[in-house]
């Protein structure tokens, strides 16, 4: 896509998101949303801290996807990860912008090939953990929330599609190209390169791969905790449940993956959370307010990430390894 097309997509996404935000706010009641956010108050500091801890977990996952004996301090991984996430959020390019930013900011500390390969492996493992999180959310929703039979059937069908999709992805990672068909298309060459790197890493360091997956699950657990704590402030008449926190977070993972091209998913998070809230017997205003609070959290950390990008010095430090 050329620069003009990217700009048009950004404008269309922003306008659509703004319309969705206005619709969700009107349905839930602007005064109710503002009152819910006011109840969070200084609790936003804890929410920001949990988000920062999640960034640290993802940065550590990245470090564990590097070859053994590669020296890459956590603080540098954290700064690069934060900056990359910020760039991915403010543009419609998503991973196409965030991952090159991480490589760029670590070019004086990691060889480019190592940075690209480790990020590819980390993203693949993270994608597997997202599928696991969404699967858990669907199971929890189907088994704990009273729904019309048609809705429950749709949830079960979505779970089945998730399992089939995971199987297809695994099959693609093993390679499906027949050499008799001639040279592979360029996009398949890139997929094959990622697959080969992941297979090589998992074959040589399986214990690291499982550790990365476990850390990614911790990332999702912290997100569920954040939702639970936020709902504790937003719900006036009762305490939240773990079921509600898990389902809201599973929805957030789906929306994040599906609408990464929309900067900050403006309006989409609010509309989807407001629509899900009644299914969980939660006030729609609390659902929209939950999404708004998370938006404030995203904006706060994105601002820090963009500052890191702007302040990144042109260092000349060599890549360091210990043997």
Cβ atoms of residues 305 and 83 within 8 Å: yes
pLDDT band at 163, cuts 50/70/90?
Answer: confident
Cβ atoms of residues 295 and 273 within 8 Å: no
* pLDDT reading at 160 higher than 80: yes
- Per-residue model confidence (pLDDT) at position 16: 54
- Residues 263-310 have pLDDT tens digits of 777 778 888 898 899 999 898 888 888 988 888 888 888 888 888 877
Cβ atoms of residues 115 and 106 within 8 Å: yes
- Per-residue model confidence (pLDDT) at position 321: 41
Element (H, E) at 185: none
Select from 146, 130, 122 the least CA-distant residue to 250. 130
* pLDDT reading at 316 higher than 50: no
Tell me the mean pLDDT in the region 33-51.
82
Select from 316, 321, 322, 323 the least CA-distant residue to 107. 316
Burial (Cβ within 10 Å: 0-12, 13-18, ≥19) of residue 223: buried
Cβ atoms of residues 109 and 320 within 8 Å: yes
Q: Which residues pair with 70 in a beta bridge?
A: 321
Q: Residue 112, SS3? A: helix
Cβ atoms of residues 274 and 27 within 8 Å: yes
pLDDT band at 11, cuts 50/70/90?
Answer: low
- Residues 171-188 have pLDDT tens digits of 665 655 556 666 666 666
Q: Measured between alpha carbons, how far is 276 from 294 in angstroms, rounded to an integer?
A: 16
* pLDDT reading at 4 higher than 70: no
**Residue 70 phi/psi, 5° resolution?**
-85, 125
* pLDDT reading at 134 higher than 70: yes
Tell me the mean pLDDT in the region 102-112.
83
- CB contact set of 127 (below 8 Å; sequence gap of 6+): none
> How many whole angstroms from its chain centre is CA 167?
21
**One-character DSSP codes across 27-73:** HH-HHHHHHHHHHHTTHHHHHHHHHHHHHHHHHHHHHHTSPTTB---
Q: Which residues pair with 321 in a beta bridge?
A: 70
Q: How is the chain split into domains, by residue range? A: 38-311
Q: Measured between alpha carbons, how far is 311 from 28 in angstroms, rounded to an integer?
A: 40
> How many whole angstroms from its chain centre is CA 99?
13
Cβ atoms of residues 259 and 268 within 8 Å: yes
């Amino acid at each position: 896509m050329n620069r003009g097309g990217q700009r048009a997509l950004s404008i269309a996404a922003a306008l659509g998101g703004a319309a969705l935000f206005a619709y969700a706010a009107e349905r839930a009641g602007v005064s109710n949303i503002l009152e819910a956010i006011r109840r969070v108050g200084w609790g936003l500091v804890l929410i920001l801290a949990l988000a920062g801890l999640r960034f640290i977990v993802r940065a550590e996952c990245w470090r564990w996807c590097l070859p053994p004996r590669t020296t890459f301090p956590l603080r540098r991984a954290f700064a690069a990860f934060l900056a990359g996430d910020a760039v991915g959020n403010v543009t419609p390019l998503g991973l196409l912008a965030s991952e090159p930013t991480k490589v760029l900011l670590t070019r004086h500390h990691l060889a480019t090939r190592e940075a690209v390969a480790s990020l590819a492996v980390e993203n693949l493992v993270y994608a597997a953990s997202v599928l696991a999180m969404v699967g858990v959310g669907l199971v929890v929703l189907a088994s704990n929330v009273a729904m019309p039979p048609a809705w429950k059937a749709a949830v079960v069908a979505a779970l089945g599609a998730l399992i089939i999709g995971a199987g297809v992805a695994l099959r693609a990672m093993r390679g499906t190209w027949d050499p008799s068909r001639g040279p592979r298309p360029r996009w398949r060459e890139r997929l094959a390169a990622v697959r080969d790197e992941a297979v090589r890493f998992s074959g040589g360091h399986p214990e690291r791969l499982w550790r990365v997956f476990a850390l990614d699950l911790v990332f999702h657990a912290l997100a569920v905790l954040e939702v639970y704590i936020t709902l504790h402030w937003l719900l006036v008449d009762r305490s939240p449940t773990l079921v509600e926190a898990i389902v809201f977070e599973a929805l957030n993972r789906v929306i994040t993956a599906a609408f990464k091209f929309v900067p900050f998913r403006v309006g989409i998070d609010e509309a989807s959370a407001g629509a899900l809230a009644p299914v969980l017997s939660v006030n729609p205003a609390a659902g929209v307010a939950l999404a708004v609070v998370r938006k404030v959290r995203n904006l706060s950390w994105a601002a820090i990430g963009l500052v890191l990008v702007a302040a990144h010095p042109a260092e000349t430090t060599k890549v360091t390894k210990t043997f």
